[in-house]
Structure 1
Amino acid sequence: MARRFRPMILLAPLLAFLSLAYVLPFAGVVGWSVTLPEPGLQNYKAALADPLVLSVFWRTLRICVIVTLISVAMAYFLALLWVRGSPLVRMLTELCILIPFWISVLTRAFGWLALLSNRGILNKWLEAAGLLDDPLRLVRNEFGVTVGMIHFMVPFAVFPLASAMRMVDERVLMAARGMGAGRARVFLQVFVPMTAAGILGAILLVFVFAIGFFITPAILGGGRSVMVAELIYLRIFQSPDWGLAAAISVILMLAVSALLSLLLKQIRPGAEK
């Protein structure tokens, strides 16, 4: 009996911490959503009927899907260089992956703002080269938000992909080549399916992170590409409506959980085969 309950005993401190740090605060948010300013479900009705809130939800979903797809694709090739490249390539790739972690998200966002703004470095170079008459609008829109988020998320997506690539049995690849398959076919039909677990992990990691982005969209969006996290902030601090903000938070949590469950159900059968 002691051996059976030993894992639960070891997990008890972690479960207690998670309950105090996440479950109880979320329960409080749920309570606000049905009690402020008065008891009822009016906050959920207002959130689901408000065109502004719905447009922010759709914008957030659209940006997160784009960021996830591009980030995972870029991270896949970075992880491939990191795991299977020459020693020099591995070292340079590792530096490219780790250096962004040494720079704060705020600094990176302002760096992109300095690079992409109307009077930023990129537009000045293009104008000086005679390629532009008017500056390109690269920030204070969804493009700037997407670029900043991708830059932040690519290093995170690399780690589950690299872990899956290191688990690939080299003998399977050699067997495929021995049976006459070319490099492209071995990569697409053997190597990529064998790293499906890493791809799924990277997708889940990037998507969940992207849903809660606040600083990067606030700076690079300039208030014109508001995402859900920024909308919640505005509802709490600028137009105080804590009940509606709590309802939006709960809806977001439920929507993300449903999407992730659907994604897992769709991918797991293929992964098991």
Structure 2
Amino acid sequence: MRTRFRITQASLPWLLIAPPLLLVSVFYLYPLAQVLFISVTEPAPGLQNFALLGTSASIQHMLVTTVRVCATTTAVAVLLGYVVSYAMTFSSPRARNLTMVLVVIPMWVSALVRAFAWVALLQRQGLVNSLLMASGVTERPLSLVWNELGVVIGMVHYMLPYAVLPLFSSMRDIDGRCITAARGLGASRWQTFWRIFLPLSLPGVIGAAVLVFVYSLGFFVVPAILGGGKTVMVAEYVRLQIVELLNWGQGTMLAVSLLVSVTATLGVAIRLLGAKRFFGHGGGAA
């Protein structure tokens, strides 16, 4: 007796998502499980690798550097992105489209190319130092690259579009009638911005800050080139442990810790803003 398999309406969604779920499990979840397994088994089973987060001075220094650089990058990128997004919101359609093109175009350029471009601009004989000395601002070249300042400059340049896009989306959704009503009731431009526009745009600010910070945590190319080996962040430290020192236990432990930190940060942001606001809606419209 043969049993005939019948596709019901209830089983159809599961059949449609089964292939991508299988691919995700094989090429993403399984490697993650391997990384987690190695982090608690090398060089011996246990949590001794994770204990290094609280006992190793070098790891703690690297983590502090990573958080400091990412926080600085986030603050500067969101501030600059807010100014650009605000100007786009109240500009003409032609100017807005042109600004959007200028914001998006750098995203198509390789991070490696941009990093080496900043090296050419910021080095002691580069264009920036040449202009500063020629204008009399400084008598000797400034140290602008191969240090933490160079890393922040390169990361802000890379992350600026990721701050502008969610900020502009949030500001675009703000109901213009709120601004008009405030001005009609006698509020100045500053009062309207401070008491109406800024609070309504805060979901976009938080979303942009979380996106920039989370993305910055895993940066490798920009810190490696512009830091010159003096500003070591978590991604470069993981490469050092696994590729050069063959210390798979510490390397995978840091990778797992980074994944947990990113997931926790996103979870807190989604809890504060709600999934709809965080992923696709500025939430400022009245």
Q: Shared topology, TM-score over 0.5?
A: yes
Give the share of equivalent positions with the same residue, in percent. 41
Write the distance in 1 (CA, Å) between the matches of 2:28 and 2:205: 27
Matched, 1:63 2:69: yes
Deviation at 1:79, TM superposition (A): 1.6
SS in 2 for 1:195: helix
**CA spacing shift, 1:77–1:267, aligned 2, 3 Å:** same
Write the distance in 1 (CA, Å) between the matches of 2:13 and 2:20: 11
Given residue 96 of structure 2, which amino acid in structure 1 is its aligned partner?
R
Write the distance in 2 (CA, Å) between the matches of 1:21 and 1:66: 34
Given residue 147 of structure 2, which amino acid in structure 1 is its aligned partner?
N
Deviation at 1:191, TM superposition (A): 1.5
Given residue 201 of structure 2, which amino acid in structure 1 is its aligned partner?
T
Partner of 1:239: 245
1:109-164 deviations in Å (ceiling 9; x for gaps): 00111111112111122233444332111111110000100000011111111211
Report if the CA contact (8 A) 2:81-2:163 is conserved. Answer: yes
Match of 1:128 among 122, 130, 134: 134
Partner of 1:251: 257
SS in 2 for 1:186: helix
Equivalent pairs counted in the alignment come to 270
Partner of 2:189: 183
Report if the CA contact (8 A) 1:141-1:221 is conserved. Answer: yes
Matched, 1:159 2:162: no
Write the distance in 2 (CA, Å) between the matches of 1:6 and 1:176: 52
Match of 2:208 among 185, 202, 208: 202
- 1:44-59 to 2 correspondences below 5 Å: 44-59=50-65
Match of 2:117 among 87, 111, 119: 111
Deviates further, 156-165 or 7-16: 7-16
Report if the CA contact (8 A) 1:37-1:243 is conserved. Answer: yes
Deviation at 1:21, TM superposition (A): 3.9
Match of 2:176 among 170, 188, 200: 170
Higher helix share: 1
Write the distance in 2 (CA, Å) between the matches of 1:83 and 1:3: 45
Report if the CA contact (8 A) 1:34-1:243 is conserved. Answer: yes
Deviates further, 86-95 or 139-148: 86-95
Deviates further, 157-166 or 258-267: 258-267
Could you state the TM-score of these two structures normalised by the residue count of structure 1?
0.88
Deviates further, 103-112 or 10-19: 10-19
SS in 1 for 2:46: coil
User: What do you get for the CA RMSD once the two structures are aligned?
Assistant: 2.5
Report if the CA contact (8 A) 2:78-2:205 is conserved. Answer: yes
Could you tell me which runs of 5 or more consecutive residues in structure 1 were left unpaired when the two chains were aligned. Answer: none
Could you tell me which runs of 5 or more consecutive residues in structure 2 were left unpaired when the two chains were aligned. Answer: 1-7, 275-282
Matched, 1:38 2:49: no
Deviates further, 202-211 or 19-28: 19-28
Write the distance in 1 (CA, Å) between the matches of 2:83 and 2:24: 35
Write the distance in 1 (CA, Å) between the matches of 2:16 and 2:203: 27
**CA spacing shift, 1:73–1:132, aligned 2, 3 Å:** closer
Write the distance in 1 (CA, Å) between the matches of 2:82 and 2:112: 26
Choose 1 or 2 for highest CA Rg.
2
Partner of 1:76: 82
Write the distance in 2 (CA, Å) between the matches of 1:4 and 1:69: 48
**CA spacing shift, 1:17–1:75, aligned 2, 3 Å:** farther
Write the distance in 2 (CA, Å) between the matches of 1:223 and 1:133: 27
Deviation at 1:208, TM superposition (A): 0.8
Given residue 92 of structure 2, which amino acid in structure 1 is its aligned partner?
S
**CA spacing shift, 1:101–1:261, aligned 2, 3 Å:** closer
Given residue 152 of structure 1, which amino acid in structure 2 is its aligned partner?
Y
Report if the CA contact (8 A) 2:35-2:252 is conserved. Answer: yes
SS in 2 for 1:36: coil
Write the distance in 2 (CA, Å) between the matches of 1:191 and 1:84: 12
1:35-64 deviations in Å (ceiling 9; x for gaps): 122222222223431101110001101111
Given residue 219 of structure 1, which amino acid in structure 2 is its aligned partner?
I
Partner of 2:29: 23
Report if the CA contact (8 A) 2:74-2:213 is conserved. Answer: yes
Report if the CA contact (8 A) 1:32-1:242 is conserved. Answer: yes
